Chain A
Amino acid sequence: MTTTTTFSGPLTRASDAPTMLARQTEQETLDVCETVMRRAQKKGAAQVEVWGEHAVSTNASLEQNEVKGAATAEHAAFGIRVIVGAGADARVGFCYVNRKDSASLDEAIDDALAIARAAGPDLGNDLVEPRPVRAIGGLFDRRVVALSADDAVGLAARMLHAARDVDSRVSIDSGYVAVAHGTVAIATSKGIRLADTDSSVMWGLFGMAVDGDDVGSFENVSEAVRDFAAIDVEKSGREFAQRARALLRPRAGRSFVGPAIFAPEAFDEIFLSALSASVDGDAVRKGKSRLKDRLGTRIAARGFTLVDDGTLPGGNGSAPFDREGLPHRRTVLVGDGVLHHFVYDGRTAKRAGRPPTGHAQGSARSLPGIGLTNVRLAPGTLSDDALLGALGQGLVVGRFSGNVDEVSGDFSGVAKASFAVKNGRKTHPVQETLIAGNVFELLPRVVERGSTLHRLVAVDCPAVLVDGLKVTAGA
């Protein structure tokens, strides 16, 4: 991990070649950002923010039970935010360009200024003031940077063979191993000068089990790590195969209104996605959040604690600073069932008259938006078997394929990779089974949480037992 900042100077002193190269790229990217910022000021911008990116990636792909190919890329990108006017008359424009020659950057500045001059004024158009930023450990691993296309292909092949060795009926439709390291840099006319480099390895499999005419439902796994030593593609391959073959020979489910266990993936897709959208300060300010008047009140069952922490060492969603150059932090969103905090970026905070919380997110391709970093739902005390026992009879929802209305909290869709449960045991996979409910009405009806946390890239979540789900069987 390397960080360059005008506040505290270089934060690491590592001298190995990948780290030195990262430092050089940070300085070069930051130099372009500063140059563009000064040019935009000369052209008439009152405030300027330039966000620069430099990314290097090496990928290997799988298709139809074979290595499909490999790919490499090295790209630069710049997002330029300009503000003309001041106070209540401040107007904003934005341009993205993936080239760094002078003509392209000048054209981008002109486009951003043209938008700003045609746009309406808004009080929120004021860049954030600098704040001290601290380094976060475990985000950069020089051993990841050193991985080659041959290494990526080797990892993909090992993952494929691990899956197929479990059961030859398992068919890999597609898969990937993606190795990346990237630098981000930001320079603003308010005095922010920051750069950082991180690295990651992601891998995943997508496919199904096929046994004659019996084609199982799609299954998938995906993992992401920053630490070279944590790469374990074979484990993912085995898990994928075991999960895919368990979906063969599905039968009809049954219709009922009652309890169900949501596997971590399903709970994230339905409940955590709606909660994330509803603690977004912009949705709150615009009246598009069901939680807009609920700060300090109970919104979920006791024991339900949800924390966002962008400073987690080695976290897939961690970074020392956000898309506007403010430090990330740890935020308790829901504590023991009570709603504690909404999250803001600079513009929304300004409009709402609140301090920004370091939750500006996005890439060089667009203006910053609001987003969470690493989300963790506190685990409970029950093992997976004990959770099934607590359910007794009902449904385990593995994944969800449907629609969640983030405004109302209504959801309805198909329960995928899901199992009927009787006498505390999974009996068979179900097909054509629809589930429906409302996130905000079901959160107080969370009965139990599993004791095992599953990491879903940047979300740590246990299995959750919820009562009151509406289930409609098709066949």
Chain B
Amino acid sequence: LSSSALSSEACVLDLLQTALARSPGPWLELRLHDRRARSILVEDGTLEAARVTRHCGVGVRAFVDGAWGFASTSELDLPAVLRAIDAATKAAAAAARGRRAKAASPTSCAFPAGTWQSPARVPLSSMSLADKIALVHQTDAAVKTAGTRITSSSCKYSELIDEKWIATSDGARVHVVDTKPELRVQAVAERDGELQSCVEAAGHTGGFGDLFARRSAEEMALRAAQTATDLLRAGYVDGGKQKVILAPDVVGLLVHEAIGHTVEADFVLAGSAAAGKLGQTVASELVTLCDSGHSEYVPGAGGVVLVDDEGVAAQKVTIIERGILKSYLHNRETAAHFGVAPTGNARAFEFDNEPLVRMRNTYIEPGSTALADIIADTDEGWLLAGAKNGQADANAEFMFVVGEAYPVKNGKLGALHRGTTITGNAFDVLKSVDRVGNHFAWDLGSGYCGKGQPAKVDAGGPHLRCTAVLAGGQGTDDAGDSK
């Protein structure tokens, strides 16, 4: 196939079907993934990097004698695909010789057919490259001119345009089209040699109508500049166990990092903290936690996956229902192991990555309490926002970093304090949830989740009140030694 011939869906599926027909015997999965990506980075008024990338090829998985083999090729002709099938089959056979027991073969299921295209409001193709570069320049300039303390600014726009064809020897034949744009704005403010920075970011599935549905690029620029400036005179958080109100982006980080990873069925099989707990109470009864390939409540979530990379239609999975652990997240292999249906959570980042069990859009369902009422009802604690990064452990101990902390005293919200790190045991924290807000937002769609390979995910929910451990910052040294 020439590069331009990829526009013909039938032509690509013919190639994959012919390759499958000539390779009887092993279970095979062929996935042709053509990814075109653009990114534009402007820093301090200068275009630092703009690039177009195209990463295209076929990934082949073979299942032979209870073991998996994988091979990939960037050549898109039949002989190259047949060579990759042969390499994957031989790799699987080599793995089988090293195993003590056979792995569960992928469970059978009904496959979606035809073309599945993620919804997009104002498609990315509606703006020229020159206009996208101009937008990034304008946004960077908006940061720089937003205040006298701003010493450095940057803005990065990036987009992933994906087209995939998946065919398996047990009947999957599907074509998937998806676009995911992202905008990140950074402001650095300085006073007396001290530097503070703030990043505002949005990442969605769809088009510009989705990327800027909640706020414009200029609004993001102004907030980044204001927050970085305010942080220069902000105080530090008191360390220790505290009552906290988590904003939707921090809720997203909590459910993704602290719970979501422990219910990925491959982690469960390795002995994660969620192993053996199906049917048990693991959270407050106010908590219902889900992972969905679709964008529930608000359109444009960044982790939309209509059909996963095993060709399975993505389901909405209720992981925790009113505090009770109900389900794990599965691919076709773990579904076979647990005797359940696959949930559409098998994802591969690019053609040369093997599909793994991954989250998509993970969230807590909204409750009934307004944020103002949660604050008014809190004697002492912190409202935390500005989720940065996080990690979780096998024992459900998590840590994540937030960029903004606001004290709550006697039902009143105080001024911005510097960010901090939160830790705790995820299930203990979810059991401590005693208020669930009524306003839902997706707010974790920029950036990537890492698990050997990246994945675009999103997460969110309403505001939550719970108890967690905060790291103290400078100025709280007198918190002292408790030995």
Contacts and interface: CB of A to CB of B under 8 A. Distances in A.
Contact of B2 (A63, A101, A405, A416): A101
A69 B69 contact: yes
Contacts of B270: 63-65, 171-174, 207
Given A122-B46, A408-B196, A403 B389 contact: yes
A74 interface: yes
B30 interface: no
A144 interface: no
Contact of B481 (A254, A403, A410, A414): A254
A112 B421 CA distance: 42
Interface stretch (B15-23, B70-78, B294-302): B70-78
B129 A70 contact: no
21 contacts: A66-B99, A68-B67, A70-B95, A75-B72, A97-B54, A99-B56, A114-B129, A119-B133, A149-B90, A153-B94, A172-B270, A174-B452, A257-B477, A365-B53, A365-B55, A407-B188, A408-B197, A412-B420, A412-B473, A414-B397, A472-B472
Select the residue from B73, B190, B271 with max chain A CB neighbours within 10 A. Answer: B271
Interface in A424-475: 431-432, 434-436, 438, 470, 472-474
Interface in B73-91: 73-76, 87-88, 90-91
B47 interface: yes
A258 to B, nearest CB: 8
Interface of A: 60, 63-76, 92-99, 101, 103-104, 107-108, 111-112, 114-115, 118-120, 122, 148-150, 152-154, 156-157, 171-174, 207-208, 210, 215-218, 254-258, 286-288, 290, 365-367, 401-403, 405, 407-408, 410, 412-414, 416, 431-432, 434-436, 438, 470, 472-474
B53 A72 contact: no
Contacts of A215: 271-273, 394-395
A-B interface, 9 closest residue pairs, ranked by CB to CB distance from nearest: A69-B68, A474-B469, A434-B471, A70-B91, A403-B401, A71-B70, A173-B270, A153-B98, A472-B239
Interface in B290-319: none
Contacts of B425: 432
B423 interface: yes
A71 B72 CA distance: 8
Contacts of B399: 401-402, 413-414, 434
Given A119-B47, A286-B44, A413-B399, 20 more contacts: A66-B103, A68-B67, A73-B352, A74-B73, A99-B54, A115-B129, A115-B133, A122-B46, A149-B91, A153-B98, A171-B270, A173-B270, A215-B273, A401-B391, A412-B401, A414-B421, A431-B397, A432-B469, A434-B399, A436-B421
B107 interface: no
Interface in B389-438: 389, 391, 393-395, 397, 399, 401, 420-421, 423-425
B51 A94 contact: yes
Contact of B74 (A67, A76, A256, A410): A76
B70 to A, nearest CB: 4
Nearest to A367: B49
Contacts of B69: 69-71, 149
A100 B218 CA distance: 41
B239 A150 contact: no
A254 B482 CA distance: 6
B68 A68 contact: yes
Given A70-B95, A149-B91, A122 B354 contact: no
B268 to A, nearest CB: 10
B76, B195, B269 — most chain A CB neighbours (10 Å): B195
Contacts of A255: 239-240, 479-482
A412 B420 CA distance: 7
Interface string B458-483: 00000000000111111001011111
Contacts of A66: 99-101, 103
B312 to A, nearest CB: 19
Interface residues of B, number: 90
B50 A119 contact: yes
A464 to B, nearest CB: 21
Contacts of B197: 405, 407-408
Interface of B: 2-4, 43-44, 46-47, 49-57, 67-76, 87-88, 90-92, 94-95, 97-101, 103, 129-130, 133, 137, 151-152, 188, 190, 194-197, 239-241, 266-267, 269-273, 352, 354, 388-389, 391, 393-395, 397, 399, 401, 420-421, 423-425, 452, 469-474, 477, 479-483
Given A149-B90, A254-B483, A407-B188, A472 B3 contact: no
A96 B394 contact: no
B446 to A, nearest CB: 16
Nearest to A257: B477
B481 A63 contact: no
B90 A432 contact: no
A470 B397 contact: no
Nearest to B130: A118
Nearest to A94: B51
Nearest to A468: B477
A216 B394 CA distance: 7
Contacts of B273: 215
Nearest to B3: A104
A73 B72 contact: yes
A69 B471 contact: no
A472 B469 contact: yes
Contacts of A172: 270
A413 B51 contact: no
B192 to A, nearest CB: 13
Given A95-B51, A96-B51, A173-B394, A72 B91 contact: yes
Contacts of A218: 393-394
Contact of B71 (A65, A73, A434): A73
A431 B481 CA distance: 17
A323 to B, nearest CB: 13
Given A108-B54, A216-B394, A256-B483, A118 B74 contact: no
B3 A99 contact: yes
B395 A288 contact: no
A173 B357 CA distance: 13
Contact of A403 (B44, B95, B388, B393): B388
Most buried by A among B70, B423, B452, B471: B471
Contacts of A410: 473
Interface centre among A98, A101, A410 (most CB of B within 10 A): A98
Contact of B266 (A63, A97, A171): A63
